[in-house]
Amino acid sequence: IARTEGIWRPMRGLNITATGAGPAHALYFACYEKLKKTLSDVIHAGGNSHVANGAAGCVATLLHDAAMNPAEVVKQRMQMYNSPYQRVTDCVRAVWRNEGAGAFYRSYTTQLTMNIPFQAIHFMTYEFLQEQLNPHRQYNPGSHVVSGACAGAVAAAATTPLDVCKTLLNTQESLALSSNISGHITGMANAFRTVYQVGGVTAYFRGVQARVIYQMPSTAIAWSVYEFFKYILTKRQEERRAGK
């Protein structure tokens, strides 16, 4: 990419991703913490329930993806090879004008189909590893980084076929369109058929290494930063209560 399109090309879409990630992750972690505690008290009072962790992650994903899906569409279109868009605003205007507002949520149900199992695996793996590496559930940066990275890698590898189909729906890539009878790819079933027509079974796992490499630092950073601020805020609350 750097050789054919310039050294800064891999950074395309960074600004729109950062803009969407703030509110999306705020909804994501707030919903997860609240539901995890509520469901754990119902399913396994006073203990940790993996079913509650998975269910809380699934519901949190609904809110996260609702906020993040439009940013993801714009990011992927800007990152396409020889993308015609120079700025985020150009891409947003072109998609809105040519395809309508629905284009920003065309892959929403598909993204949920991918992200719900991804987050269920992700959260259950993270909480399981925390039980092994950090059984007292204290603030431990090393355990948060390792657990987050491993959880992201496992979930990413397991859901790569769904990510391939989601990306195809978002980008409407020309090679795939030429092999599609309708000339337009809509829906998960259509995307799965088109991917198979273009590259066979192996096409579902194209980019699995890149996806795992991307998710490991991403989830490691997300969990370590989240656990850090959770620790700081909880400590301040305890100090205030002690001061009273």
Task: Quickly state the pLDDT bin for 6 (edges 50, 70, 90).
Answer: confident
Higher pLDDT, 209 or 79: 209
pLDDT in tens, 66-118: 888 888 888 888 877 777 777 778 888 888 888 888 888 887 887 788 789 99
Tell me the per-residue pLDDT of 28-52, one tens digit each, with 9 for 90 and over: 889 998 998 899 888 877 677 888 9
The sign one gets for the Cα dihedral 207, 176, 195, 66 is positive
Residue range 219-244: average pLDDT?
88
pLDDT (tens digit per residue) in 141-190: 999 999 999 999 999 998 888 888 877 776 766 555 555 555 567 677 77
Q: What distance in Å separates the CA atoms of residue 1 and residue 88, rounded to the nearest whole number?
A: 20
- pLDDT band for position 1 (cuts 50, 70, 90): confident
Mean pLDDT of the chain: 84
Domain boundaries, the chain: 1-99, 138-243
Least confident of 3-17, 46-60, 110-124, 220-234: 3-17
DSSP 112-135: HHHHHHHHHHHHHHHHHHHHHH-T
pLDDT for residue 122 is more than 60? yes
Tell me the CB-side half-sphere exposure of residue 203, using CA atoms within 13 A: 14
- Bigger pLDDT: 175 vs 238: 238
pLDDT category at 25 given cuts 50, 70, 90 is: confident
Q: Name the residue type at position 192.
A: F
Question: What is the pTM assigned to this prediction?
Answer: 0.70
Task: Answer yes or no: are the C-beta atoms of 83 and 145 closer than 8 Å.
Answer: no
Q: What is the pLDDT of residue 139?
A: 92
**Helix (H) and strand (E) counts in the chain:** 10, 0
CA dist 177 and 69 (Å) reads 22
- The amino acid at 127: E
Q: What is the largest CA-CA distance in the chain?
A: 71
Q: Check pLDDT > 80 for residue 8.
A: no
8: CB partners within 8 A, 6+ apart: none
Q: Give the mean pLDDT of 201-230.
A: 91
DSSP category for residue 104: G
Whether 120 contacts 162, CB under 8 Å: no
